[in-house]
Amino acid sequence: MTSLQKHTNQLDKSILNKLSKKESEIVVLAQSKKFSEYSNEDKQELAKKLVSLSYFVGIKESPSIDTLVLLVRFICSKFPNFSGEELENAFYQVCAGELGDIDHYQNFSPIYLGKIINAYEEEKMKAKRNYMQLQQKKDWEEEEKKRSEYLQVNALPIIAEQLKEEYLSWKEKTYTNITDLKKYSHQILLDYARSKNLFVKFDADNYTHTQYLEKYFLSLPDNKDEALNSIDNYVRSYGKNILN
């Protein structure tokens, strides 16, 4: 079989290594040139491959020239997204008993070829699904890692900005008719700030998260700009990033 190496460039090798050898080969060969892209020269080579494969599976008489032309036309038109390299791999799997019991009955017919290709396509669908699931898992883990690292490094600036936004909202509206969603966002903000050594005196038995933030805002200078600077100074002076 043609070397698999040239087909792996578009794939993640770390994910391929997590698949079984069979699935890995199937996924890699799915990148090979499709029948729909075959030139006349490619089709001539495909006809030669069919002769070799017929002998390989134990058929005593190879197909005639006319039959080969029809077989090439058949598989290229009915299975345009398949390839010669996949066909070769499919025959290897048939001979190894990995695609079920598919007998040729000494007849290298389109029905025989179709059964092999369809059986292989089912295995390819499973292998590609497994690859995609692992790819999605890896992408998610990498995104979570980046997000975690970003939050670790930028935790204090993020908290400071959120506190200033809440202060401005409180200054302008004084939290009239506050919604449950806003209360929950206050809880998230205050709990996250506490994890960075801020608002350590908060006591949930005496104050709600919103009430405690209001208490903090009331302690700030009356001048808006001075209050915003005070928030920055507080976070910078008492807060701690994980990486500090």
Check whether residue 201 and residue 216 sit in a common domain: yes
Structure tokens at 94: 């048939």
- Give me 110's structure tokens: 């389109």
Q: Are 226 and 172 in a shared domain?
A: yes
Look up the domain containing 206 and give its range.
Answer: 145-238
Together in a domain, 103 and 156: no
Residue 31 counted as domain residue: yes
Give the model confidence (pLDDT) of 67-100 as tens digits: 999 999 999 999 999 999 999 999 999 999 999 8
Is the same domain home to 24 and 56? yes
**Largest CA-CA distance found in the chain, in angstroms, rounded:** 98
- Among the candidates 113, 138, 163, a domain finishes at 138
What CA–CA distances, in Å, run from 56 to 11, 49, 92, 139, 222? Answer: 31, 10, 9, 42, 89
Mean pLDDT, residues 199-214: 89
Query: Is 24 contained in some domain?
Result: yes
Treating both helix axes as pointing N-terminal to C-terminal, what angle do 21-29 and 84-95 enclose, rounded to 10 degrees?
160
In angstroms, the Cα distances linking 187 to 9, 14, 173, 210, 213 are 47, 40, 19, 7, 10
Rounded distance between C-alpha atoms, residue 123 and residue 27, angstroms: 10
Q: How many domains does the chain have?
A: 2
In a domain, 243, yes or no: no
130: CB partners within 8 A, 6+ apart = 19, 23
Domain boundary among 119, 138, 157: 138
Of 211, 217, 220, 231, nearest in space to 169 by CA: 217
pLDDT for res 153: 66
User: pTM to 2 decimals?
Assistant: 0.63
> What pLDDT shows up at residue 244?
39
Q: Do the beta carbons of residue 102 and residue 94 sit within 8 Å?
A: yes
Span 132-162, pLDDT tens digits: 999 999 998 888 788 767 666 678 888 899 9
pLDDT of residue 119: 96
Q: What is the pLDDT of residues 20-29, one digit of tens each?
A: 999 999 999 9
Note whether 134 and 152 are same-domain residues: no
